């Protein structure tokens, strides 16, 4: 069964809008777990516009499910991850001011840089995942780096799903097969929703984990958080 990791960035964005502690991010994370999430994902950015580094530190001791920290591996991020020691770190090629992740790594071009970072986390005993597109060379190089998993960047799937679901999913099935042949796990994330999630999982049932934020929080406005998490779990 595929795990659901709830990305709680948007709850932090809402909290930060008024400067207080409403919604309480830690309580929201605990409630996601209580409602059935298998993990919590955070994406601290250097400008701390949503998740703050302090949030990451405060979340770790209270969570009872898998904790996934994603981000660009600049020094401050690497230090934070090593200090907090989450279940998983997902490396994303975001530039500091970027609105959201919009591409996977070129794992061939950045091989030496990523190799150092992945080795560092491997030595610390933290599971590593590398955000990539469906380009199979990128998947193969992620495996060569010694990463435990890839995370497939699913925005192109979500966009193309609306007109042709089968054509949309095919490159993802292919990339996930290559990952399996290389002996690494498969995560997926970005723009997954109640509309497109079930079809993806039916096509690639060996996906280990999906991390979902934006659509899930939007759905929660209408359905409530508990019912929303239940419906996402139902798709899995
Ligand atoms: N995976 C990665 C690497 C991301 O950067 C994000 C967005 O923070 C997500 C998954 C979740 O995407 P969404 O918010 O569209 O569900």
DSSP string, 162-222: TT-HHHHHHHHHHHHHHHHHHT-EEEEESS--TTTHHHHHHH-TT--EEEE-HHHHHHHHH
Distance 189 CA to ligand 1 centre (A): 6
Distance 215 CA to ligand 1 centre (A): 10
* Residues 6 or more apart in contact with residue 225 via CB below 8 angstroms: 28, 31, 32, 35
Separation of alpha carbons 77 and 94, rounded Å: 12
Separation of alpha carbons 36 and 33, rounded Å: 5
With a 6 Å cutoff on the Cβ, whether 189 touches ligand 1 is: yes
Catalytic residues: 43, 70, 190
Distance 124 CA to ligand 1 centre (A): 25
- Please compute Rg for the chain using Cα positions: 17
Separation of alpha carbons 145 and 215, rounded Å: 32
Q: 133: which 2 tokens?
A: 């597109």
Report the nearest-CA residue for atom 6 of ligand 1: 190
With a 6 Å cutoff on the Cβ, whether 101 touches ligand 1 is: yes
Query: What atom in ligand 1 is closest to the CA of residue 214?
Result: 14
Closest CA to 66 of 122, 132, 126: 126
**How many Cβ atoms from other residues are within 10 Å of residue 183's Cβ?**
8
H or E segment to which residue 130 belongs = strand 127-132
Closest CA to 8 of 222, 213, 172: 213
Q: 42: which 2 tokens?
A: 């955070």
Q: Note down pLDDT in tens along the chain; length 236 residues.
A: 999 999 999 999 999 999 999 999 999 999 999 999 999 999 999 888 899 999 999 999 999 999 999 999 999 999 999 999 999 999 999 876 677 778 899 999 999 999 999 999 999 999 999 999 999 999 999 999 999 999 999 999 999 999 999 999 999 999 999 999 999 999 999 999 999 999 999 999 999 999 999 999 999 999 999 999 999 999 99
Query: What atom in ligand 1 is closest to the CA of residue 193?
Result: 16
H or E segment to which residue 161 belongs = helix 155-161
Query: What atom in ligand 1 is closest to the CA of residue 215?
Result: 16
The predicted structure's pLDDT at residue 95: 73
The model carries a pTM of 0.97
The predicted structure's pLDDT at residue 46: 87
With a 6 Å cutoff on the Cβ, whether 9 touches ligand 1 is: yes
With a 6 Å cutoff on the Cβ, whether 90 touches ligand 1 is: yes
With a 6 Å cutoff on the Cβ, whether 191 touches ligand 1 is: yes
Q: What is the b/e burial string over 22-49, where b = at least 16 CB atoms within 10 angstroms of the residue's CB?
A: eeebeebbbbbbebbbbbbbbbbbeeee
Report the nearest-CA residue for atom 9 of ligand 1: 190
Separation of alpha carbons 234 and 152, rounded Å: 21
């Amino acid at each position: 069964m595929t795990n659901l990791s709830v990305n709680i960035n948007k709850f932090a964005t809402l909290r930060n809008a008024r400067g207080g502690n409403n919604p309480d991010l830690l309580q929201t994370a605990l409630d996601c777990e209580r409602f059935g999430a298998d993990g919590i994902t955070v994406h601290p950015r250097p400008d701390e516009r949503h998740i703050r580094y302090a949030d990451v530190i405060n979340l770790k001791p209270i969570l009872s499910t898998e904790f996934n920290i994603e981000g660009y591996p600049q020094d401050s991020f690497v230090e934070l991850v090593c200090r907090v020691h989450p279940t998983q770190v997902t490396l994303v090629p975001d530039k500091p001011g970027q609105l959201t992740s919009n591409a996977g790594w070129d794992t061939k071009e950045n091989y030496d840089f990523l190799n150092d970072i992945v080795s560092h986390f491997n030595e610390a005993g933290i599971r590593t995942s590398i955000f990539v597109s469906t380009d199979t060379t990128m998947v193969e190089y992620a495996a060569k780096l010694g990463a435990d998993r890839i995370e497939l960047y699913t925005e192109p799937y979500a966009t193309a799903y609306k007109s042709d679901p089968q054509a949309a999913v095919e490159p993802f099935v292919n990339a996930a097969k290559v990952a399996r042949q290389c002996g690494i796990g498969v995560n997926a994330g970005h723009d997954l929703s109640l509309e497109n999630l079930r079809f993806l999982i039916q096509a690639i049932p060996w996906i280990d984990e999906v991390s979902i934020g934006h659509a899930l929080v939007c759905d929660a406005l209408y359905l409530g958080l508990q019912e929303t998490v239940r419906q996402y779990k139902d798709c899995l």
